[in-house]
């Protein structure tokens, strides 16, 4: 009955980035009461994220991973890699929100605070060493995003998005909990490392109960990363939510979902790899097929990007299915690339929104190249990157996952993925076609802003540089898995 | 080597004229072309003299195509055969160039005309001077090209454009075989060089090749393929259809290309390849039969044609048939001899008709060549009339003139050629009757009687200028005297100079007959020539209404002949239209647009349609989504846990 | 890597050649005036051409080894390197590309009025991509260039193309992409079986099992056959060619189509000799079909540009036939014919572009009698027509003759059937020429207004003359060009002929059993 | 049948029945009230399992706070007209079928579950020494400090969220 | 002694009933209650496991689940209210503005 844990300095220092995130979030809540210019709040939010980024980067080179808070929180390179994705995501999102939220008349401090809290939730998920903490992080993230999705409460579709997201999210958490409960019951623990040991010592990696637990967790995580058939919330929520939040959601929760999927499947259930790979294969196929195919019929660009993000989840899954460390590397590599190209695309989407004009229809892009050659060129790059055409980063991402899938013997999956990326090319191309090959219907005014410009510059450069010199990212991803 | 200039001079003339003719040279184009071709003629004379002295020249200029073991050079061979051909080509060309100065005077494409003619001379010279089959092929195709340009010279006339195209494409059919023959020669002999091929010919005797499951004698196959080319170029059955249409070109072109030189390329080529042909009886017989049949076949058509140039054109086809007949029975030198004499009198005939056309060029549309609208021109154009008479005497084989000697040689050699030869001899004689008839018919219709055309035009008719008549007179001399180099031994011992001259290349013909037989053959051919003449005279001078009667009496036959056995129509029906229709309706409209494009556009359409259907799954209802999740989870559990 | 000859010039010549256009594109990006953009592009393409010339002069014809090789580490974790070099097979394509790029800039001088900047950037990037494909000796690098080209080409067709441009552009893109992604899968499989490397030379020297070869060959075939394009994967081509702007058509016909055949030579054949033998018959049959089929479709065409486009199908049929004849004449003829086709068809598209600029119609029926209206134009066109028909003395003849020779030698019936293509070729080209240039012209229609037709101007003549010179140069002295290939082709054939494939495989059975 | 088993039987029947009642009542208020009864039973079950603390939390938090919140909202929305229409969706057979199938699957899989893992140190006796509350309290603030803090954050977010969504004025 | 699997089966059945409720009902609030039911069923099994494993981890987890459930209730109900203000219905089969 001894207390086995006492709080120490190393515990606090390990969660410094999370702490920074949360405290800045709290600060923003308070500042909101006194500061009238909401841009300042946003800037402070970015600063907070940057501080956290610094904190993460400074420990990135550490030689060994660290478990703190009584094996609850794990600070390792894997989580750091994901945290960087989260920081980029939140920073980009805040940057593109400046003007947008003002147009939507919803620029208030809570918005930024919630973004930071959601990010904190993701960070906790990525660092979770215990299913319990994983669950809590997930809920922290989820609850924040539910609110953010429904933020524009004067808009029916924002409400509806929130309702759908919330209900289905809660439904899926129930499955997660059931899975956790089963795992706990069988192994007697919720600690990820201990689960792996228990599975090994008890020799229960073939038991149906464990399998059921894993399946339920896959269902729940599959919901977060929008795998078919657990994807159905995604298009509606992406379309209904404020565009900046759509951008945020299309990257953050997805990355977090993959982070925990990788963590749980590889670390806790590593010995059950054949089983869960088998489950994921049909999901991956369905995801790629349904995502690519339905996107073809879309006329709303947010919705189209939603389906596109579903399809991308399918590609990312290939790396996990491979079941090797390299496979996981390819997935996280893909995620990082996806972050840049997807946010880049959403930045252009958001720039079309202006007072009294939604700018979400694909027709709205007609003739954009004529009036805004630069924006169109960037969108073109993002679209080709999402398609996976070299020399953009999107190609590197796809190449790597295909490579690992094939290496693991899933050549047919790679072929399906390749063919459906051709299908997906069709709808990405359509944007390009509208921008470059149609005459403008009416005058297009872009809502530009400095921060958004910076985001575009960074994402575009990243897409091109990673596309041409992928080594930079590859070694980082590699390093983050091996550590 | 100085002789390289023989082809190069006309080429140079072509280049200069085509590049600068339109803007700078214009109506002075002949000043470039005529000296060039005359220069070639002089050089040819030098070459000929050299060959007479026994200098056979065979030289490679440079390696043209080298690929693996395939190696072909640009190289020239000037031997006895080439020398004769050079003489024929350059001399007649020179005359025709001069003639054209007058004939084409004032035409807006004057420079173009001379440019093409020069290019033609170049091509023809390459053809005859080549020392290997591929270069021969080069010249072969190049003359076809020039023929295309010159036939379609008046491109604004649809018929001219059609005729040019037709000539080229029909020739391509022949070249198809020729080209394959060339390839087969290389694969058999490992070289395309005449000398190597011919010297190795004996060694491959009896070698066979598997052709679609049949074993075929290689040499025979090669010869037949080569002969395909000859059939096309020399307008033999069944590829003769282009030559009459080629009359759409200006008359000097008809004279030069379609009578004197280009069409004889086939004859030349077969003669050139005689070491190969001699080894294959099948090929030889084919050549002979095709020649004989063509000779009579074309002659029958010529009987009833109204267009003056067409009559001569069919006459050309017929005469070419004679030449092939000669080659086929192994009398190569006789064939070449006839080629040589024919060049003069046929050029003369064409140029003469050109002179007539020139005189009548004020006549109404299309009437200038219609013999039914002519008549009585004798008094207006005496020179033309008399050269026409000379040419006709020559072609019909009246003793003493050029045509007599060469034709007689052919018939005699045919007569000696066994049973088949006898048959061919009979064909030849029959053709000779017809030849006499239609040739004299032409003269009577054109020059005798009274003018039947537009009376108002009559006073415009005049004799052609000197620049036209002088070449005519020179050619007339040729038409008379050209045959004197080949007098058969039975008439004059040791006077067959041309046969002896060509013997090193073409060998001596086989077969011997008695003097009596030979005299008999001569007598028969003279007799038939005279009979033909008399019949024509009877029908067109004495009883001018007779032709009409006969025509209406034998209406079907007349129609058959007049419509050239409907061969053009037949080809159109069974080759041209089906191919065009099939390519339009089946290949393009159905196969390409429906089947392939159907699949290509169908798959995206299918996916698109599927997409539209599939998006309905996304109903927008929260509970449906939940249900999908639940069912998804259930399926996974069912499949992976219970069906493991 | 001792099996290559490193670049011994004091500058990286290949890198410069490939990336100078990219540099040019960046400069163009910063310019504003259209004139400046045009001149810059012209200068850049011209410079690239000049830079590429030392490749010709410094080339060692006596060896089949890769020359001017540059090697740098690029993605070490995947074992991928920046590895470029040329041999006798690729060298001529580089020159062809650099030459045609100049011409495409020249021909667009007036034709491209809107979005000139984007246009020239596309052309320059395109040039870099094409050059890259021909010099890459690492599969990854190759693939990047191979696909990167799609983007500018897609834009060229889609933005500056004709009426139906969007359809054509998308079709082109997707068609090619489908082939390419299958190849990508093949590349990855090769990567793992070939010892985790994408070095083309190393992969070529490996031995692969017959089954693997079969599948890999199929995967590569998908990409290359579409690009060639072989029957029945050709239907993107008429659309793309027809709708593309002149420069686009020139590049498409001149260079892009060559990549498929180049791919066969560089990858499929040396790497999968057994599978090559296995696929020999179907490919030759498809080639022959393409020759005849393409020609037949041409006979039925009513659109000027479409006709030339389909003639490419026929001509490229010759190319594949020659290549898969697997003898010296066939392969060398095939390579030469690729160049020839680039020159001839490139020039034909230039010509059509020139006349389209004046008449604004591509319907053959609208033309007629142009020989009288535009004699110089007609003159140039007739040269090209006969070059395309394969008249001796011009380049088309050399290529076609060698190909038919090679095919005949390999299997007589293919040679014979291919030769029929020559007849049909004459048929459709001459008929086209007649319909456009002969007979009576509608002089009134072409005299005034929008449709005013005038003869070639100096710029256009300058654009065309180099190609005409090349036509005759190759026609009369092909050895200049063939000599570059001899050793490389000999080496290639030597490699393939080492196959110990016994035959007797049924492709269909293998395919079906493989899938199920 | 032991007493424990008898009581379990009672709870099992009640819980199942109440669950069915909760999901089938037409009026949401009825549902909530049946839920209340259900929660009480669950709390009872917890007591059986030596989880006194949780039993208390169940009553206080769940029944006392969450359900009350539900009631508030239902009344706030004043759903009178909602009640007259049909209560199940058209897809209910599918939903019911899925639920039934799920029940069968789950029962088949977990039906024979037994304790496999090594027992922990919190045996009944060990806990009973200081009492359940003490034991939980101790570890909650030591071993489970981090999740505890995160949970507090979740609650904070909930507060903000509720305010933002329901209260905050949009300019 | 009550065997562990009795509890687990009970939990499974309740979970399924919750699922049915979520899938079959049209009233958003009752759907929400169904979710709460599912969570409670999980709680039961967790507590049961905790008891039989002699580990407090399960109970702690239940504690957190209840906390989160409270938070979820607050947010979920806020969302419902916000929704209701714009669209006066909480019938789930009338909510499909976003679809396709």
* A437 vs C75, C166, C191: nearest CB: C166
Q: Is the pLDDT of residue E75 over 90?
A: yes
Average pLDDT over residues B368-392: 79
Residue A2 confidence (pLDDT): 52
Q: Cβ–Cβ of D89/E2 closer than 8 Å? A: no
Residue D81 confidence (pLDDT): 60
The helix (run of H) or strand (run of E) holding residue B72 is strand B70-78
Q: Cβ–Cβ of A229/B632 closer than 8 Å? A: yes
Domain span at residue D135 reads: 120-171
Average pLDDT over residues B254-274: 84
Asked if D151 and D79 sit in the same domain, the reply is no
Residue B590 confidence (pLDDT): 84
Q: B619 — contact with chain D (CB < 8 Å)?
A: no
- Residues of B in Cβ contact (< 8 Å) with E97: 620
Indicate the pLDDT class of residue A184, thresholds 50, 70 and 90.
Answer: very high
Q: Cβ–Cβ of D171/A105 closer than 8 Å? A: yes
Chains that touch B (3 or more CB pairs under 8 A): A, C, D, E
Residue B428 confidence (pLDDT): 84
Q: B630 — contact with chain D (CB < 8 Å)?
A: yes
The number of beta carbons lying within 10 Å of the beta carbon of residue C457 is 11
Q: Is the pLDDT of residue D167 over 80?
A: no
Q: Cβ–Cβ of E81/D106 closer than 8 Å? A: no
* B619 vs E23, E31, E99: nearest CB: E99
User: Is the ipTM of this structure higher than 0.85?
Assistant: yes
Residue with tokens 């091509």: B123
Percent of all residues in chain E with a pLDDT value above 90, rounded to a whole number:
62
Structural domain spans, chain A:
12-482
Residue D84 confidence (pLDDT): 61
Query: What are the structure tokens assigned to B259, written together?
Result: 């009578």
A46-55, A455-464, B188-197: segment of lowest average pLDDT: B188-197
Q: Is the pLDDT of residue A190 over 50?
A: yes
> Is residue D33 a part of any domain in this protein?
yes
Q: Is the pLDDT of residue B378 over 80?
A: no
Query: What are the structure tokens assigned to C117, written together?
Result: 């900047």
CA distance linking residue E80 with residue D166, whole number of Å: 9
Residue A268 confidence (pLDDT): 92
Phi, psi of A71 (to 5 degrees): 60, 25
Instruction: List Cα–Cα distances, E34 to A171, B243, D23, D27, in angstroms.
Output: 9, 96, 6, 14
Structural domain spans, chain E:
4-94
> What is the pTM for the complete model shown?
0.91
CATH number at residue D33: 1.20.120.1200
- Residues of C in Cβ contact (< 8 Å) with A403: 78, 188, 191
SS3 A130: strand
- The answer to whether B356 and B376 are in contact (CB under 8 A) is no
- The residue among C430, C469, C489 with the most chain B CBs within 10 A of its CB, best to mutate, is C430
Q: Cβ–Cβ of D96/E72 closer than 8 Å? A: no
The residues on E that touch B, with CB distances below 8 Å, are 19, 22-24, 26, 31, 92-93, 95-100
Q: What is the mean pLDDT of chain C?
A: 88
Instruction: List Cα–Cα distances, B643 to A212, A296, B640, C429, in angstroms.
Output: 13, 35, 6, 66
Residue B365 confidence (pLDDT): 55
> Is residue D64 a part of any domain in this protein?
yes
Q: What region does C140 belong to: left with phi over 0, alpha with psi -120 to 50, or beta?
A: alpha
Q: What region does C5 belong to: left with phi over 0, alpha with psi -120 to 50, or beta?
A: beta
Percent of all residues in chain C with a pLDDT value above 90, rounded to a whole number:
35
Indicate the pLDDT class of residue B210, thresholds 50, 70 and 90.
Answer: confident
* D110 vs E5, E44, E77: nearest CB: E5
Of A105, A118, A3, nearest in space to A49 by CA: A118
pLDDT tens sequence across C52-103: 999 888 888 888 889 899 999 999 888 899 999 998 889 999 999 999 999 9
Per DSSP, what are the bridge partners of residue C4? C66
- The answer to whether B428 and B410 are in contact (CB under 8 A) is yes
Q: Shortest Cα distance from E2 to chain A (angstroms)?
A: 16
Which residue would you say has higher pLDDT here, C91 or A8?
C91
Which residues have CB under 8 Å from E90's CB, separation 6+? D77, D79, D82, E27, E28, E29, E80, E83, E84
Q: How many whole angstroms from its chain centre is CA A271?
A: 26
Of B9, E25, C516, nearest in space to D83 by CA: E25
Query: What are the structure tokens assigned to A172, written together?
Result: 């899926």
DSSP secondary structure code for residue D27 in this structure? S
- The answer to whether C143 and C34 are in contact (CB under 8 A) is no
CA distance linking residue A82 with residue A328, whole number of Å: 12
Instruction: List Cα–Cα distances, A49 to B280, C191, C513, in angstroms.
Output: 95, 41, 56
Chain B residue with minimal CA distance to C419?
Answer: B176
Q: CA end-to-end span of chain E, whole Å?
A: 54
pLDDT tens sequence across B325-355: 888 888 888 888 888 888 888 888 888 888 8
Angle between helices C507-515 and C273-300 (to 10 degrees): 110
Tell me if there are at least 3 CB pairs under 8 Å linking chains E and C: no
- Residues of C in Cβ contact (< 8 Å) with B22: 375
Q: E78 — contact with chain D (CB < 8 Å)?
A: yes
Instruction: List Cα–Cα distances, C127 to C345, C354, C497, D103, in angstroms.
Output: 18, 22, 35, 64
Q: E56 — contact with chain D (CB < 8 Å)?
A: yes
- The answer to whether C388 and C322 are in contact (CB under 8 A) is no
* A22 vs D106, D153, D171: nearest CB: D153
Residue E64 confidence (pLDDT): 94
CA distance linking residue C415 with residue B209, whole number of Å: 15
CA distance linking residue C186 with residue C183, whole number of Å: 5
Q: A290 — contact with chain B (CB < 8 Å)?
A: yes
Q: CA end-to-end span of chain B, whole Å?
A: 90
pLDDT tens sequence across A75-130: 999 999 999 999 999 999 999 998 888 888 887 888 999 999 999 999 999 999 99
Q: Is the pLDDT of residue A337 over 90?
A: yes
Average pLDDT over residues C319-343: 91
Q: A164 — contact with chain B (CB < 8 Å)?
A: yes
Residue B451 confidence (pLDDT): 76
Residue D80 confidence (pLDDT): 64
Asked if D10 and D78 sit in the same domain, the reply is yes
SS3 B114: helix
Q: B612 — contact with chain E (CB < 8 Å)?
A: no
Asked if D22 and D74 sit in the same domain, the reply is yes
Residue with tokens 């499989």: C189
Query: What are the structure tokens assigned to B511, written together?
Result: 């077969």
Asked if D12 and D73 sit in the same domain, the reply is yes
Chains that touch E (3 or more CB pairs under 8 A): A, B, D
User: Could you give the residue ranges of the DSSP H alpha helices within D50-144?
Assistant: 52-57, 67-77, 80-84, 92-110, 124-130, 132-141
> Is residue D43 a part of any domain in this protein?
yes
Asked if D63 and D127 sit in the same domain, the reply is no
CA distance linking residue D44 with residue C470, whole number of Å: 97
Average pLDDT over residues A200-211: 89
Which residues have CB under 8 Å from A81's CB, separation 6+? A332, A336, A476, A477, A480
> Is residue D112 a part of any domain in this protein?
no
User: E10-26: string of b/e by CB count within 10 Å (b at 16+)?
Assistant: bbbbbbbbbbbbbbbbb
Instruction: Report DSSP letters for C14-33, one per residue.
Output: HHHHHHHHHHHHHHHHH---
Residue A1 confidence (pLDDT): 43
Residue A195 confidence (pLDDT): 93
Domain count, chain D: 2
CA distance linking residue B526 with residue B534, whole number of Å: 12
Asked if D15 and D69 sit in the same domain, the reply is yes
> Is residue D105 a part of any domain in this protein?
no
Indicate the pLDDT class of residue B364, thresholds 50, 70 and 90.
Answer: low
Instruction: List Cα–Cα distances, C269 to C131, C290, C318, in angstroms.
Output: 21, 21, 17
Phi, psi of C66 (to 5 degrees): -70, 140
Q: Is the pLDDT of residue B157 over 80?
A: yes
Percent of all residues in chain B with a pLDDT value above 90, rounded to a whole number:
3
Q: A132 — contact with chain D (CB < 8 Å)?
A: yes
E4-94: CATH class = mainly alpha
Chain E residue with minimal CA distance to B617?
Answer: E100
Q: Cβ–Cβ of B623/E100 closer than 8 Å? A: no
Query: What are the structure tokens assigned to A142, written together?
Result: 């989820």
- Residues of B in Cβ contact (< 8 Å) with C300: 580, 583-584, 587-589
CA distance linking residue C443 with residue C429, whole number of Å: 24
Longest dimension (CA), chain D: 67
- The answer to whether B326 and B425 are in contact (CB under 8 A) is no
DSSP tally for chain A: helices H, then strands E: 20, 2
Chains that touch C (3 or more CB pairs under 8 A): A, B
Indicate the pLDDT class of residue B323, thresholds 50, 70 and 90.
Answer: confident
pLDDT tens sequence across C439-474: 877 777 877 777 788 888 888 888 889 999 999 999
pLDDT tens sequence across B26-48: 788 788 888 888 888 888 888 88
- Residues of C in Cβ contact (< 8 Å) with B587: 293, 296-297, 300
C428-437, C495-504, D22-31: segment of lowest average pLDDT: C495-504
Report the relative pairing of strands B208-211 and B70-78 from DSSP bridges.
unpaired
Phi, psi of D85 (to 5 degrees): -80, 175
- The residue among A433, A438, A466 with the most chain C CBs within 10 A of its CB, best to mutate, is A433
**C46 CB burial (10 A radius; 0-12, 13-18, 19+):** middle
Asked if D128 and D65 sit in the same domain, the reply is no
pLDDT tens sequence across A380-402: 999 999 999 988 999 999 999 99
B589-598, C245-254, D33-42: segment of lowest average pLDDT: B589-598
> Is residue D17 a part of any domain in this protein?
yes
Instruction: Report DSSP letters for C155-173, one per residue.
Output: HHHHHH--TTHHHHHHHHH
> Is residue D101 a part of any domain in this protein?
no
Q: Is the pLDDT of residue D116 over 90?
A: no
Q: Cβ–Cβ of C479/B169 closer than 8 Å? A: no
Q: What is the mean pLDDT of chain A?
A: 91
Q: E87 — contact with chain D (CB < 8 Å)?
A: no
Average pLDDT over residues C184-200: 89
Q: What is the mean pLDDT of chain B?
A: 83
Residue A469 confidence (pLDDT): 92
Residue A230 confidence (pLDDT): 93
């Amino acid at each position: 009955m001894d207390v086995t844990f006492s709080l120490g300095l190393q515990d606090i220092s390990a969660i410094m980035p999370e702490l920074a995130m949360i405290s800045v979030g709290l600060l923003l809540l308070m500042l909101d009461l006194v500061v009238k210019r909401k841009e300042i709040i946003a800037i402070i939010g970015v600063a907070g994220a940057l501080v956290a980024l610094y904190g993460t980067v400074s420990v990135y080179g550490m030689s060994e991973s660290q478990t703190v808070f009584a094996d609850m929180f794990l600070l390792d390179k894997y989580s750091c890699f994901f945290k960087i994705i989260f920081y980029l995501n939140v920073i980009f999102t805040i940057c593109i929100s400046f003007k947008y939220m003002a147009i939507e008349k919803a620029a208030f401090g809570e918005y930024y605070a919630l973004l930071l809290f959601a990010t904190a939730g993701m960070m906790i998920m990525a660092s979770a060493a215990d299913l319990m903490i994983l669950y809590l992080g997930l809920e922290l993230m989820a609850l924040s995003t539910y609110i953010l999705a429904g933020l524009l409460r004067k808009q029916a579709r924002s409400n509806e998005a929130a309702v759908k997201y919330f209900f289905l999210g809660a439904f899926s958490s129930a499955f997660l909990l059931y899975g956790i409960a089963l795992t706990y019951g069988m192994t007697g623990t919720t600690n990820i490392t201990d689960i792996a040991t228990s599975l090994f010592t008890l020799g229960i990696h073939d038991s149906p109960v464990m399998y059921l637990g894993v399946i339920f967790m896959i269902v729940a995580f599959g919901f977060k990363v929008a795998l078919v058939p657990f994807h159905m919330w995604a298009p509606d929520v992406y379309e209904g939510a404020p565009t900046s939040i759509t951008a945020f959601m299309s990257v953050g929760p997805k990355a977090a979902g993959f982070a925990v999927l990788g963590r749980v499947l590889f670390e806790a259930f590593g010995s059950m790899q054949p089983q869960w790979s088998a489950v994921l294969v049909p999901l991956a196929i369905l995801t790629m097929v349904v995502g690519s195919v339905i996107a073809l019929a879309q006329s709303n660009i947010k919705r189209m990007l939603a389906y596109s993000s579903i399809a991308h989840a399918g590609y990312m899954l290939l790396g996990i299915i491979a079941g090797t460390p390299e496979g996981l590397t390819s997935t996280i590599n893909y995620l990082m690339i996806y972050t840049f190209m997807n946010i880049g695309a959403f930045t252009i989407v958001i720039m079309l929104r202006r007072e009294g004009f939604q700018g979400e229809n694909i027709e709205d892009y007609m003739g954009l190249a004529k009036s805004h050659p630069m924006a169109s060129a960037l969108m073109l790059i993002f679209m080709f990157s999402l398609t996976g055409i070299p020399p953009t980063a999107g190609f590197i991402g796809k190449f790597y996952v295909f490579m690992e899938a094939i290496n693991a013997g899933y050549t047919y999956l790679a072929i399906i993925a390749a063919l459906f990326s051709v299908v997906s090319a069709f709808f990405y191309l359509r944007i390009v076609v509208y921008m470059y090959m149609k005459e403008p219907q009416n005058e297009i005014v872009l809502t530009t802003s400095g921060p958004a410009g910076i985001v575009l510059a960074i994402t575009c450069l990243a897409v091109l540089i990673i596309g041409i010199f992928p080594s930079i990212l590859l070694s980082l991803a590699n390093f983050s898995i091996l550590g | 080597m100085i002789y390289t200039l023989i082809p190069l001079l006309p080429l140079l003339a072509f280049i200069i004229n085509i590049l600068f003719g339109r803007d700078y040279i214009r109506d002075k184009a002949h000043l470039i072309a005529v000296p060039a071709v005359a220069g070639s003629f002089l050089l040819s004379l030098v070459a000929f003299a050299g060959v007479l002295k026994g200098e056979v020249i065979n030289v490679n200029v440079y390696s043209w195509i080298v690929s693996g073991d395939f190696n072909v050079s640009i190289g020239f061979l000037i031997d006895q055969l080439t020398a004769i051909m050079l003489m024929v080509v350059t001399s007649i060309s020179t005359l025709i160039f001069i003639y054209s100065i007058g004939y084409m005077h004032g035409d807006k494409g004057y420079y173009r005309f001379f440019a093409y003619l020069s290019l033609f001379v170049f091509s023809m010279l390459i053809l005859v001077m080549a020392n290997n089959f591929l270069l021969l092929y080069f010249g072969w195709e190049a003359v076809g090209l020039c023929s295309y340009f010159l036939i379609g010279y008046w491109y604004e006339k649809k018929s001219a454009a059609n005729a040019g195209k037709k000539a080229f494409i029909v020739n391509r059919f022949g070249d198809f075989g020729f080209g394959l023959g060339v390839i087969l020669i290389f694969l058999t002999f490992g070289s395309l060089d005449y000398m190597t091929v011919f010297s190795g010919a004996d060694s491959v005797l009896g070698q066979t090749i598997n052709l679609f499951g049949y074993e075929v004698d290689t040499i025979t196959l090669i010869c037949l393929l080569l002969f395909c080319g000859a059939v096309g170029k020399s307008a033999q059955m069944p590829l003769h259809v282009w030559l009459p249409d080629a009359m759409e070109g200006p008359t000097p072109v008809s004279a030069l290309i379609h009578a004197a030189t280009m069409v004889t390329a086939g004859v030349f080529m077969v003669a050139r390849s005689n070491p190969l042909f001699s080894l294959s009886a099948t090929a030889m017989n084919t050549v002979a039969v095709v020649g004989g049949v063509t000779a009579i076949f074309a002659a029958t058509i010529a009987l009833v044609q109204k267009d003056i140039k067409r009559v001569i054109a069919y006459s050309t086809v017929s005469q070419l048939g004679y030449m092939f007949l000669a080659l086929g029975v192994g009398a190569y030198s006789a064939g070449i001899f006839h080629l040589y004499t024919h060049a003069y009198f046929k050029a003369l005939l064409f140029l003469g008709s050109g002179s007539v056309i020139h005189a009548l060029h004020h006549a109404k549309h299309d009437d200038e060549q219609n013999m039914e609208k002519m008549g009585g021109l004798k008094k207006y154009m005496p020179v033309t009339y008399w050269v026409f008479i000379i040419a006709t005497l020559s072609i019909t084989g009246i003793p003493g003139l050029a045509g007599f000697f060469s034709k007689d040689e052919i018939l005699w050699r045919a007569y000696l050629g066994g049973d088949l030869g006898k048959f061919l001899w009979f064909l030849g004689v029959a053709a000779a009757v017809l030849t006499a008839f239609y040739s004299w018919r032409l003269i009577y219709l054109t020059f005798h009687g009274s003018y039947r055309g537009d009376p108002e035009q009559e006073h415009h008719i005049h004799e052609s200028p000197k620049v036209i008549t002088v070449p005519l007179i020179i050619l007339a001399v040729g038409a008379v005297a050209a045959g004197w180099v080949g007098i058969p031994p039975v008439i004059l011992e040791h006077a067959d100079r041309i046969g002896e001259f060509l013997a090193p290349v073409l060998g001596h013909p086989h077969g011997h007959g008695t003097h009596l037989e030979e005299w008999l053959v001569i007598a028969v051919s003279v007799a038939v020539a005279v009979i033909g003449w008399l019949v024509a005279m009877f029908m067109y001078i004495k009883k001018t209404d007779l032709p009409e009667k006969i025509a209406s009496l034998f209406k079907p036959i007349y129609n058959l002949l007049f419509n050239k056995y409907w061969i053009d129509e037949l080809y159109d029906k069974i080759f041209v239209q089906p191919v065009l229709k099939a390519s339009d309706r089946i290949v393009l409209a159905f196969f390409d647009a429906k089947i392939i494009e159907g699949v290509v556009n169908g798959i995206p359409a299918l996916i698109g349609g599927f997409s539209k259907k599939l998006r309905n799954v996304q109903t927008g209802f929260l509970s449906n989504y939940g249900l999908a999740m639940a069912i998804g989870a259930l399926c996974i559990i069912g499949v992976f846990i219970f069906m493991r | 890597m001792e099996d290559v000859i490193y670049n011994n010039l004091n500058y990286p010549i290949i890198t410069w050649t490939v990336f100078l256009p990219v540099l040019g594109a960046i400069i163009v990006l910063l310019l504003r005036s259209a004139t400046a953009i045009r001149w810059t592009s012209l200068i850049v393409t011209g410079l690239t051409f000049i830079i590429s010339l030392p490749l010709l002069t410094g080339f060692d014809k006596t060896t089949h080894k890769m020359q001017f090789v540059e090697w740098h580490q690029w993605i070490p974790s995947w074992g991928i390197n920046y590895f470029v070099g040329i041999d006798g097979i690729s060298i001529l394509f580089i020159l062809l590309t650099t030459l045609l790029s100049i011409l495409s800039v020249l021909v667009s001088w007036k034709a491209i009025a809107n979005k000139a900047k984007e246009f020239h950037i596309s052309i320059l990037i395109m040039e870099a991509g094409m050059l890259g494909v021909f010099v890459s000796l690492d599969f990854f690098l190759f693939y990047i260039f191979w696909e990167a080209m799609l983007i500018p080409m897609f834009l060229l067709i889609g933005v500056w193309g004709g009426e139906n441009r969007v359809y054509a552009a998308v079709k082109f893109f997707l068609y090619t992409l489908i082939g390419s992604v299958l190849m990508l899968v093949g590349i990855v499989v090769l990567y793992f079986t070939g010892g985790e490397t994408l070095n083309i030379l190393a992969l070529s020297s490996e031995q692969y099992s017959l089954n693997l070869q079969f599948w890999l060959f199929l995967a590569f075939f998908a990409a290359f056959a579409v690009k060639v394009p072989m029957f029945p994967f050709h239907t993107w081509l008429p659309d793309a060619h027809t709708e593309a702007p002149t420069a686009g058509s020139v590049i498409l016909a001149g260079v892009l189509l060559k990549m498929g055949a180049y791919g066969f030579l560089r990858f499929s054949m040396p790497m999968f000799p057994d599978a090559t033998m296995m696929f020999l018959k179907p490919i030759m049959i498809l080639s022959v079909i393409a020759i005849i089929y393409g020609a037949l479709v041409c006979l039925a065409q009513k659109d000027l540009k479409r006709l030339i486009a389909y003639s490419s199908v026929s001509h490229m049929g010759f190319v594949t036939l020659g290549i898969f004849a697997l003898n010296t004449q066939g392969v060398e003829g095939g390579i030469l014919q690729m160049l020839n086709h680039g020159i001839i068809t490139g020039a034909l598209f230039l010509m059509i572009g020139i006349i389209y600029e004046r008449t604004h119609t591509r319907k053959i029926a609208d033309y007629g009698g142009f020989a009288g209206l535009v004699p110089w134009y007609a003159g140039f066109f007739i040269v090209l027509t006969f070059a395309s028909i394969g008249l001796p003395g011009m380049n088309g003849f050399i290529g076609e003759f060698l190909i038919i020779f090679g095919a005949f030698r390999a299997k007589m019936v293919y040679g014979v059937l291919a030769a029929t293509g020559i007849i049909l070729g004459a048929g459709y080209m001459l008929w086209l020429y007649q319909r456009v240039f002969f007979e009576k012209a509608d002089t009134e229609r072409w005299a005034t207004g929008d449709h005013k037709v005038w003869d070639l101007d100096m710029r256009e003549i300058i654009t065309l003359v180099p190609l005409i010179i090349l036509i005759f140069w190759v026609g009369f002295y092909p050895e200049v060009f063939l000599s570059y290939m001899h050793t490389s082709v000999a080496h290639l054939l030597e490699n393939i002929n080492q196959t110990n494939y016994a035959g007797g495989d049924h492709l269909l059975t293998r395919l079906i059993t493989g899938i199920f | 049948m032991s007493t424990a088993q008898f009581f379990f039987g009672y709870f099992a029947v009640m819980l199942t029945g109440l669950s069915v009642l909760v999901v089938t009542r037409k009026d949401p208020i009825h549902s909530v009230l049946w839920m209340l009864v259900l929660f009480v039973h669950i709390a009872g079950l917890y007591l059986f399992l030596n989880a006194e603390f949780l039993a208390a939390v169940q009553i206080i938090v769940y029944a006392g706070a969450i359900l009350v919140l539900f009631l508030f909202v239902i009344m706030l929305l004043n759903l009178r007209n909602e009640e007259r229409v049909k209560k199940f969706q058209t897809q209910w057979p599918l939903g019911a079928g899925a639920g039934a199938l799920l029940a069968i699957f789950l029962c088949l899989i977990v039906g024979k579950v037994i304790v496999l893992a090594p027992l922990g140190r919190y045996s009944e006796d060990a806990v009973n020494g200081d009492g359940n509350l003490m034991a939980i309290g101790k570890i909650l603030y030591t071993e489970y400090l981090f999740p505890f803090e995160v949970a507090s954050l979740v609650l904070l977010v909930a507060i903000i969220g509720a305010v933002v969504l329901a209260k905050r004025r949009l300019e | 002694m009550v065997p562990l699997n009795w509890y687990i089966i009970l939990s499974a059945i309740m979970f399924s009933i919750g699922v049915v409720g979520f899938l079959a009902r049209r009233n958003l609030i009752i759907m929400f209650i169904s979710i709460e039911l599912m969570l409670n069923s999980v709680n039961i099994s967790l507590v049961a496991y905790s008891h039989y494993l002699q580990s407090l981890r399960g109970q702690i987890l239940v504690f957190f689940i209840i906390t989160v459930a409270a938070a979820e209730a607050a947010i979920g109900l806020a969302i419902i209210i916000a929704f209701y203000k714009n669209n006066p219905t909480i019938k789930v089969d009338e909510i499909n503005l976003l679809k396709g």
